[in-house]
Amino acid sequence: MVKYFDTITPQLLPWIEKQQMFWVATAPLSGDGHVNVSPKGVEGTFHVVDGNRVWYEDLTGSGNETISHLRENGRVTIMFTAFEGAPRICRLFGRGTVHEFDTPEYNALIPPESRKPSSRAAIVIDVHKVGTSCGYAVPYYQFLSHRNILQHSFSRPEALDCNSPFPHHADKGLKAYWEKYNLSSLDGLPGLLTATHSTAAPASDDSWRASRVTVPGTRSANTLKSKRDDIRLLAAFSTGFLVAAVCFKLSSTSS
């Protein structure tokens, strides 16, 4: 049975904080514009301030729909779904505000020591309605692990910006990626406005490197690197063995 509240209730809060992913839905005002739904799942990016305010750290992607839609009209819905335990769907209806990388608001929420790789904005949502529904048709899924492919993918462009001279804007850096892919939406609405002009180095927390992602049936970046290292070691050993065998044979022949 659907229920509506004016705030995130104390009963919902711990359940929300335990969810491993959420969805963000936005749309332009244009009747023929593209409605967008984005799944979000990097650990530690969603935060609850109080019963009527939440925010999440928006990481870089090849699209820019959410930011563009929020700039135009502010409307946003966050959805959480239970994949284990009791069935439940929870929606947070609100109005969102975009705080781009290196703005005072962004820096207050996301200091460099806690910034996730590729982080481009903080999305703050003022929640005016909360809805819960049964979720009876949502299937069971078992959470195995968060992926770290995004961190791997954008750590190098970030490093290029950080290691380049002031104003920290390398040709193949993160800011150049923002300029290529994040300046407008599919419908031509403005996206990032100031982050590409920032003179700050996009430094980020690299603690994710210490975690090893091992999921049956998949090949993570860490796993692939480990396999490549094993292959190199085996190749070096085989080469050494072959050289030793040839030298031994030559020595035996000369004797």
Task: Give the DSSP per-residue string, the chain.
Answer: --EEESS--TTHHHHHHH-S-EEEEE--SSTTSPPEEEEE--TT-EEEEETTEEEEEEEP-S--HHHHHHHHT-EEEEEEE-SSSS--EEEEEEEEEEEETTSHHHHHHS-GGGPPTTEEEEEEEEEEEEEEE--TTSPP--------HHHHHHHHHHHHHHHSSTTT--TTSHHHHHHHHSSB-TT--B--SSGGG--S------GGGG-----TT---HHHHHHHHHHHHHHHHHHHHHHHHHHHHHHHHHH-
CA 6-8-10 angle, 5° bins: 125
Residues in the chain: 255
Query: For 140-180, what is each residue's pLDDT tens digit?
Result: 999 999 999 999 999 999 999 999 999 999 999 999 999 99
Are the beta carbons of 74 and 125 closer than 8 angstroms? no
Q: What per-residue confidence (pLDDT) applies to 77?
A: 99
The Cα–Cα gap between 208 and 129 comes to 35
Q: Look at the pTM and tell me if it is higher than 0.85.
A: no
Segments of the chain with pLDDT less than 50: none
Q: To the nearest whole number, what is the mean pLDDT of the chain?
A: 91
pLDDT by residue (tens digit) across 81-103? 999 999 999 999 999 999 999 99
What pLDDT score does 210 carry? 81
Neighbours of 149 (CB within 10 A): 12
